[in-house]
Amino acid sequence: MIVSSVFILFLLIGSFLNVLIYRIPREEDVVVKRSNCPKCKKLISWKENIPIFSYLFLFGKCKNCKEKISIKYPFIELLTAVLGSFVYLKYFEIDQLKMIMFSVVICLFIVQFFIDLEHYILPHSLNLIIGACLLVIAIRDYSWQHYIFGFIIGFVPLFLLGYLYEKYRGQIGLGGGDIVLFGMLGIYLGPFKILYTIIFSSLLGTLVILALMAIGKVSDKEVPVPFGPSILIISSIQLFYPGVLESLFLKIV
């Protein structure tokens, strides 16, 4: 019964995450403004805004103009419910502070993931909230050297590399949002785990690019592939299953 309630709660949160994903890159209000159809601008009533069920009852179309509603919306609601319930089940009985902070972090990971896929940005405001949540746990669980040096290792080398690449090549090599996100993750992961995160994120990103090139989705001259999703996938593994990537790295080398 409790798990079902948690699942429903995160379905509702997922509906709000859809709002954030759509409005933050467009710099629109995310609190007061009511939801409306992007095409006909008709306000969406509460009956048309029930997570997943409204999509099914409306057959994936706007009730007013019949514009198709992207399957992405119910998918994000369901994804949020599944991951949120996972965090609850994993930490509720052993660490409620971590449960709360990781719930916020995983929700923001979802927002960042889909914003970066569409707009190629990782908003700094969301990165800072992620960092603040991770800092709360890091202060409780680790020494100041852990989170200070974790931030430095995650941020400074990549910032310098990005700066030098842009200065001498005249183009952005690594987005500022990616660099800030690594810094925020380093606060909790520390100086060693953040290195594994950088290595495996780069490896996953490279594999994605090579796969897209192989099927002709991108060319070797222009590769508009966001790096954020790779960072977020690897970081999720690091947060919830610490030690897995380190073991894998040691086996590879």
Instruction: Give per-residue pLDDT as tens, 28-87.
Output: 888 877 788 777 777 887 777 888 888 888 878 887 787 888 899 999 999 999 999 999
Distances (CA, A) of 50 to 9, 55, 253: 12, 8, 50
Would you state the pLDDT for residue 77? 96
Per-residue pLDDT averaged across 135-154, rounded? 96
CB 14 within 8 Å of CB 78: yes
pLDDT score, position 223? 59
Main-chain phi, psi angles of 61, to 5 degrees = -135, 150
pLDDT tens for 96-133 read 999 999 999 999 999 999 999 999 999 999 999 999 99
Q: What is the pLDDT of residue 220?
A: 60
| Greatest extent of the chain over all pairs of C-alpha atoms, in Å | 59
CA angle 62, 65, 67 (to 5 degrees): 55
Contact between 187 and 150 under an 8 Å Cβ cutoff? The reply is yes
Dist. CA 174–CA 165, nearest whole Å: 9
Most confident of 74-88, 164-178, 197-211, 213-227: 74-88
Q: Cα separation of 41 and 34, whole Å?
A: 11
pLDDT, the chain, mean: 90
Q: What is the pLDDT of residue 107?
A: 98
* Residue 221 reports pLDDT greater than 60: no
**pLDDT bucket at 219, cuts 50 / 70 / 90:** low
Residue 173: pLDDT band by 50, 70, 90 thresholds?
low
3-state secondary structure of 113: helix
Lowest mean pLDDT among 63-67, 170-174, 203-207, 211-215: 170-174
Percent of the chain at pLDDT > 90 equals 62
Q: Which residues of 64-85 are buried (b: 16+ CB within 10 A; e: fewer)?
A: eeeeebeeebbebbbbbbebbb
Residue 33 DSSP SS3: coil
Q: Above 80 in pLDDT, residue 139?
A: yes
Give residue 12's pLDDT band: very low, low, confident or very high (50, 70, 90): very high
